[in-house]
Structure 1
Amino acid sequence: MYRASGPEEFKPVGETEFINGIAAQSASGLYGPTKVCAGIVGTVDLLLGNRVEPVLESHLAAGGDRFRGVRPTIVWHESKEVLPADNVPNVLSRPEAMAAVRSISKFGLSLDLWAFFTQLDEVAQVCRDNPDLTVVVNHAGGPLGIGPYADRREDVFVEWRKKLEIVSRCENAVIKLGGLAMRYGGFAFNELPEPPSSDVLVENWKRYFDVCIELFGPQRCMFESNFPVDRGMCSYQVLWNAFKKLTRQFSETERQCLFSGTAARVYRLAD
């Protein structure tokens, strides 16, 4: 639902306009009590530098009081087996992106970042350079299990954990627990003769989520469904059942943080 015309940098604002329309319908109460799209995270091109500010203003105007943050495209890997798309490398280290991130912080918005574990050093630097900015690390910090990493799961786990620990030292960083059903993790549940059960997900993912919760604490972790993308490997119900099983050892207060509280705080959602 990007805008079909107008300046290129403003086209993503059309998405916010569309989503805010859905939110308004939901808020009417005619479709039930659930407040769909109560918080909106849009996107911008970080390479606009300071010129990102009028785009952010347009997002805020289009989203009303629901616009909460941005999730730009920064994911990159040198191997085409990992990421076939021709994304710009090392975006976060570029001066224009640094200026854009400072603007995002100035506007009081959050910054969602999907990055592979190989990019976590850059993510940590963004957190250190912008201590007043809430940085949301997506998809458990992007561990990889395909391409050059297909037969290196243990090596990747050790390196991923080491880099994620550095990010976790930044108090303004929070992490989303999910995204491991994408092909990048290399778990290949889609190749099984039957769809995986929640127990299969727990068996394969538990140590990753345990590390995230250990490093960040429940107050800086939130579960994510990542649907419809995850649908290629598992069902929505099975995924959330796995999350419930993964957190049986935590207290009611800690689980409340993991399943709703952290997200409500980070994205400033009303109870």
Structure 2
Amino acid sequence: MLRIDAHQHFWHYQPEAFSWVDNSALKQDFLPAQLRSELSAAKIDGCIAVQARPCEAENQFLCDLAARHDEILGVVGWIDLQQPDPVALDPRCCGFRHPVQDEADPVAWLASDVVARGMRQLQQQQFSWDLLVTHHHMQQAAVFAQRHDAHWIVLDHLGKPDIAAGAEQWKQQIAPLAALPHVVCKLSGLVTEAGAGWQGAQLLPFFDAALALFGPSRLMFGSDWPVSQGEARYQQVCDLCQQLTQTLSQPEQQAIWGGTAQRVYLKGNTA
């Protein structure tokens, strides 16, 4: 079974293209050569490269990298679902996403009939959709996912929970989304949400709640490298997930560390 990092980014840093990057340590290039040693040390076989810019040029950039670097197993590109013919086929694109969290009105975007038309077309062609929202919009995200159940929907970063409010509140918020069998969740991004001074004891209850709600077969490990570098080293992020999985059976561990990502992104299976 492949061990897969299901969520990381590459970029040639340009201030105008990455205005969302507010950590000075991240204002530089991050490319496959820099990640390769981290993957090797953590015994990760490959990764899924996820868009970091909302533009079609991002897809070509990531697909070109995937063509040259075998460790990039697939690309989650960007797509504008509000265009009349939104799906741009590329054999290396295994899914798409749009940063809904950055929309002026995420609620309106999630409920849009125009977006719904694009989602139907996307799912008909068996592409997964990475859902990037925050804890503020879990209810609307559940309605969106229920409306679009023809293929996989992948919740990024556990829906960016409010860490200070605690895992029990997040568990209640996420439960309607987790109840949908075609929705899977990435164990990623928590160190960034927690910020400086995060502790494993603070974050593991969120992982435990995700495990209870989704089960191992609908969870996947993602480092969110290099964004996570602002708060933790790559190995620290892996170690945090290892703490969650160490008491699970071997098949359950394999699901989280690669099986779910392989099934959702790399095999073209339906939900």
TM-score by length of 1: 0.73
Aligned with residue 183 of structure 2, among 149, 160, 173: 173
Q: List alignment gaps of at least 5 residues for structure 1.
A: 3-10, 27-34, 77-85, 146-151
Match of 1:88 among 70, 82, 105: 105
Partner of 1:153: 165
Say yes or no: does 1:14 pair with 2:57.
yes
Q: Which stretch of structure 1 is more off in the superposition, 171-180 or 95-104?
A: 95-104
Greater helix proportion: 1
* Partner Cα separation in structure 1 for residue 229 and residue 181 of structure 2: 33
1:226-262 alpha-carbon deviations (Å, 9 max, x no partner): 0111111111011111211221110111000001100
Identity of matched residues, %: 26
How far apart are 1:42 and its partner, in Å?
0.6
Opposite residue 89 of structure 1, the aligned amino acid is P
Runs of 4+ in 1 over 6 A off after TM superposition: none
State the partner residue of 1:139: 157
Other-structure match for 2:119 = 101
Matched residue type, 1:114: L
Contact persistence 1:20–1:66 (CA under 8 A): yes
CA RMSD between the two structures: 2.2
Corresponding residue for 1:83? none
Contact 1:179 1:226 in 2 (8 A): yes
One-letter amino acid of the structure 2 residue matched with residue 234 of structure 1: A
Greater fraction of residues in strand: 2
Once residues 174 and 252 of structure 2 are traced to their aligned partners in structure 1, the CA distance between those partners, rounded to angstroms, is: 21
Could you report, residue by residue, the CA deviation over 1:23-48 in whole angstroms, capped at 9, with x for unpaired residues?
A: 2222xxxxxxxx22221111122333
Partner of 2:138: 120
Cα deviations by residue, 1:55-108 (Å, 9 ceiling, x for unpaired): 413xx1xx3x221111112115xxxxxxxxx63331111222122211211221
Q: Hey, what's the Cα distance between the residues in 1 that align with 2:104 and 2:185?
A: 23
The amino acid that maps onto 1:67 is C
Contact map agreement 2:187 2:241 (CA 8 A) in 1 = no
* 2:221 match: 223
Q: Which residue of 1 aligns with 2:33?
A: none
Does structure 1 residue 188 correspond to structure 2 residue 195? Answer: yes
Deviation at 1:158, TM superposition (A): 3.4
**Cα displacement (A) at 1:269:** 5.2
Q: Normalising by structure 2, report the TM-score.
A: 0.73
User: Could you say what secondary structure the match of 2:253 adopts?
Assistant: helix
Q: Distance in 2 between matches of 1:205 and 1:224?
A: 15
* Partner residue in 2 for 1:45: 80
Read off the aligned partner of 1:43 and give its amino acid letter: W
User: Alignment length, in residue pairs?
Assistant: 216
